[in-house]
Structure 1
Amino acid sequence: MVTRGGGKRLPLVLGLAAVAGIAAGVAVVYVREGGRGNQAATAVSDCAGAVKAAAALAPLAKGEVAAFQVADRPVSLAHLAFQKADGSAATLADFAGKTVLLNLWATWCVPCRKEMPALDRLAEAEGGTDFAVVPVSIDTQDPGKPKAFLGEIGVKALPLYVDPSTKIFSALKGEAMAVGLPTTVLIDGKGCALGVVSGPAEWDSADAKALIAAARNGA
C-alpha cells in the first residue's frame, strides 16, 4: 500500500511484530529489575549521594593512586559476602558507619602479595571506629594458604577474610568494577562504592591517605 505522502505503509503483520518485540523487551527489563526486589532498589537509591561524594575525590586521584576511578553511578555493595577466619559469615553491611577499603587478593597473585604490607601498614595507622581495611582472599584451593601468607609477612593489623567461592569477585565484575587482581574498592559508611583501583597501589602513601581521609570526612 502507498500512503498519501507517497511512503510505503508497513504490513499489519510487521507492525504487530514490532509491537510484540517492544513488549518483550519491556518484559525482560521488568523481570531483571523486579527480581532484585525493593530492598536492593532502596539500597541503590541510598547511594545517590555517593556519586557526588565520589566526584569530589577525583582531584585526589593522583600520584600513587592515580589509577583510582571514581564511581559515576550509585552502586550498593553492602550485600557482598565473605567468611571470617573462623568460618562464620560476614558482609560489608557489618561495617556500616565505616569507610571501607575492600581489597580482593589471592596468594598466587604476585602484585597482591607485593602490596599487602602497605595495606597492613595502612590498617595499623588508620584503622579505627570510622575506617577499616577489608582484605578478602579468593584463593580456591588450599584454604590454609592465605593465613600462612599473612603469617609469613608478619601482618599486624589486617584481619583474615576469605571467599573460596569467588562470588564476591563475580559480583564486582558484574558491576564492571573488577577485571583482575588485585581489585580495591573504596566504600562509604552506607556500603556505597566511591571508586575503584584495578591493580596494585601504595596504600600507605601520602597520596592514598589523603584520598581515604577525604572519603572518611564525607562518609
Structure 2
Amino acid sequence: MTAKKPLALPSLKLILLAAVAGVVAGAAAVYVKETGYGNGGGETAALAGECEAAKGQAAALAPFTTGEVAAMVAAQKPLSLQNVAFKGVDDKALSIKDFAGRTVLLNLWATWCIPCREEMPALNSLQKSLGNERFEVVAVNIDTGDDEKPKSFRTETGIDALGFYRDSTMGVFNALKKEGLAFGLPATLLIDGKGCLLGAMNGPARWDSEDAKGLIKAATGA
C-alpha cells in the first residue's frame, strides 16, 4: 500500500492540475495572489495547544480514508482553524468558531473550477444525508466580484441543502495556503467541534459515496 504524503507536500500532479485549471479559467492569479494574511491564520499557533487531543482522533480516522476519500490525509500536528473567516448570508461575518460543537467539512470552491462544479451536487447530497446539529458541510465560494455567479450556479444545479458562504477577498484560501493546506481548488478540510484540524485533501471527491459517509460518521461518532 502506498503511503500518503504529508499535508505540507502536495504532489506534482496536484500542482500541475491546479495551474492548468487556473489558466483555462482565466484565473491563474488565484494561485499566486496574496491579499494579505489576516484571516485568523496568524493565531493558529497560539491555539494549537487546544488541539492536542485531536491528534488521536485524526489518527483513528485513517482506516476510513479509503476508496473515494483516500486522498484525505490525517493532520500531522495540532492546528486550530477556529479563526479562519468568511461571510454568510447578508454578508454576515463568520468563522469556524461559529460552528463550535459541530464537525465541519470545509470546502473551498469557485464557479470557474470545473472539478469544484462537478463535486458540488455530491456535497449537497452529503449535507442532506448527514447534516444535523453535529455535522455541517461548509462550502465557501471564493469567486471574486459579486454574488451573482455563485448564486446562479447554485440555482442551476439545485444546490438547496448547503448554506451560502462566501469570501470574495481570497483571504480564506490564502490563510489555508500559508498553513500548507490549500494548493488549488477544490480544497477540503475536516475539522472537529473545537475547530481543530483532523484531515485535509486537495482535489475533488465523491462526497455522496459510502466511503465519504463512513468517514464523516467516524469523525462525528455517529
Name the TM-score, length of structure 2 as normaliser: 0.79
One-letter code aligned to 2:54: A
Offset of residue 40 of structure 1: 5.5
Task: Give distance in 2, aligned partners of 1:45 and 1:215.
Answer: 20
Q: Unmatched 5+ residue regions in structure 1?
A: 1-35
Counterpart of 1:194?
198
Question: Residue 148 of structure 1 is aligned with which of 146, 149, 152?
Answer: 152
| SS of the residue 2:86 aligns to | strand
How far apart, in 1, do the equivalents of 2:207 and 2:108 lie? 14
How far the C-alpha of 1:141 sits from its partner, in A, is 2.7
1:155: Cα distance to partner?
A: 1.4
2:111 paired residue among 87, 107, 113: 107
- Cα separation, 2, equivalents of 1:135 and 1:191: 16
The residue aligned with 2:175 is 171
Residue 62 (structure 1) aligned with residue 49 (structure 2): no
Work out which of the two has the higher radius of gyration on C-alpha atoms and give 1 or 2: 1
Alpha-carbon displacement from aligned partner over 1:152-183 (angstroms, at most 9, x marks no partner): 10112111100011110111111110000000
Identity %: 54
* Matches of 2:45 and 2:205, distance apart in 1: 31
- Tell me what 2:51 maps to: 47
Partners of 1:84 and 1:66 lie apart in 2 by: 30
Residue 79 of structure 1 corresponds to 83
* TM-score normalised to structure 1 length: 0.80
Partners of 1:63 and 1:93 in 2: how far apart? 31
Cα distance, 1:119 vs structure 2: 0.2
Task: Kindly indicate whether residue 219 of structure 2 is the aligned counterpart of residue 211 of structure 1.
Answer: no
Partner letter of residue 52 of structure 1?
G
Q: Is the 8 A contact 2:146 2:168 kept in 1?
A: no
Tell me how far apart the structure 1 counterparts of residues 146 and 82 of structure 2 sit (CA, whole Å). Answer: 28
Q: Is the 8 A contact 2:154 2:160 kept in 1?
A: no
In 1, Cα distance between the equivalents of 2:65 and 2:159?
27
Amino acid at match of 1:119: L
Distance 2:132 2:212 in 1: 17
Which stretches in structure 2 are left out of the alignment for 5+ residues? 1-41
Residue 187 of structure 2 aligns with an amino acid whose one-letter code is T
Offset of 1:143 from its aligned partner? 2.6
User: How do 1:114-125 and structure 2 match up within 5 A?
Assistant: 114-125=118-129
List structure 1 runs of 4+ shifted beyond 2 angstroms.
none
1:184 counterpart = 2:194:
no
SS at match of 1:86: helix
Q: SS in structure 2 opposite 1:51?
A: helix
Kindly indicate whether structure 1 or structure 2 has the higher relative contact order, using CA contacts under 8 Å at least 6 residues apart.
Answer: 2
> 1:85-113 CA distances to partner (integer Å, 9 max, x unpaired)?
21111111000000000000000000000
Letter matched to residue 101 of structure 1: L
Secondary structure of 1:47 counterpart: helix
Q: What is the distance in 2 between the residues matched to 1:149 and 1:174?
A: 29
- Where 2:104 maps in the other structure, the secondary structure is strand
